[in-house]
């Protein structure tokens, strides 16, 4: 414990600055994630999909084809794991430096245990049958086999160089890359959705 005494002193001496940086970090994260929401919303609009919510303000932004019932299924911008470490900033998850990543998630809102098993079985079957398509588009099965996930990774050094005025152009490439991947695998997702909701 004594080897950390210098760190403790440093934190106590700079407490005011640390408190101020927490507020600034929240502001930066809100700007970054609102920009990602805008890209997703614009993409969904062009496809005539429904899009609602805001990642930073109301939790995951949900988007889905208008002929889908969102009670059963939707896409969202979220973590690939349901465990968020409170000591790690959201930007670290976007950087891809943590085990948990941020990205596009396909969620199926199952009801009973039987429905969950059917969903997992069909997702695994389609994933195995179309493995090269899914892998080529960075899609993987997460949450213990319940959801499909496409990561969005932003190099933090690029974000630093371009913040605040250039974040729109820096974030555009990784978000659009993930959305294009989603577009490529969507026909298979649509088959799964149709089979499980009919």
Strand partners, 102: 79
| Percent above pLDDT 90 for the chain | 45
pTM of the model: 0.86
3-state secondary structure of 62: strand
Q: What is the pLDDT of residue 139?
A: 95
- Is 105 in contact with 148 (CB distance < 8 Å)? yes
Contacts (Cβ under 8 Å, ≥6 apart) of 47: 65
Give the pLDDT score at 83: 67
Phi–psi pair at 182, nearest 5 degrees: -60, -45
Encode pLDDT of 140-188 as tens digits. 998 777 789 999 988 888 888 999 898 888 999 999 999 999 999 999 9
pLDDT at 50 over 70: yes
pLDDT confidence of residue 82: 64
pLDDT at site 39: 94
Round to whole Å and give the CA distance between 182 and 111.
25
User: What is the token pair recorded at 44?
Assistant: 């969904």
């Amino acid at each position: 414990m004594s080897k950390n005494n210098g760190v403790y002193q440093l934190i106590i001496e700079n407490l005011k600055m640390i408190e101020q940086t927490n507020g600034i970090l929240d502001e930066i994260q809100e700007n970054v994630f609102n920009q990602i929401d805008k890209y997703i919303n614009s993409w969904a609009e062009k496809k005539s999909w429904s899009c609602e919510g805001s990642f930073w303000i109301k939790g995951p932004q949900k988007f889905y084809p208008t002929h889908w019932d969102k009670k059963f299924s939707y896409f969202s911008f979220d973590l690939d794991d349901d465990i968020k470490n409170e000591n790690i900033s959201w930007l670290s998850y976007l950087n891809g430096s943590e085990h948990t990543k941020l990205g596009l998630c396909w969620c199926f809102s199952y009801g009973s245990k039987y429905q969950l098993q059917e969903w997992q079985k069909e997702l695994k079957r389609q994933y195995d049958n179309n493995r090269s398509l899914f892998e080529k588009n960075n899609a993987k099965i997460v949450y213990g086999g319940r959801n499909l996930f496409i990561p969005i990774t932003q190099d933090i050094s690029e974000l630093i160089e371009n913040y605040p005025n250039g974040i729109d152009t820096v974030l555009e490439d990784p978000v659009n890359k993930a959305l294009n991947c989603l577009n490529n695998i969507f026909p298979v997702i649509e088959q799964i959705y149709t089979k499980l909701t009919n």
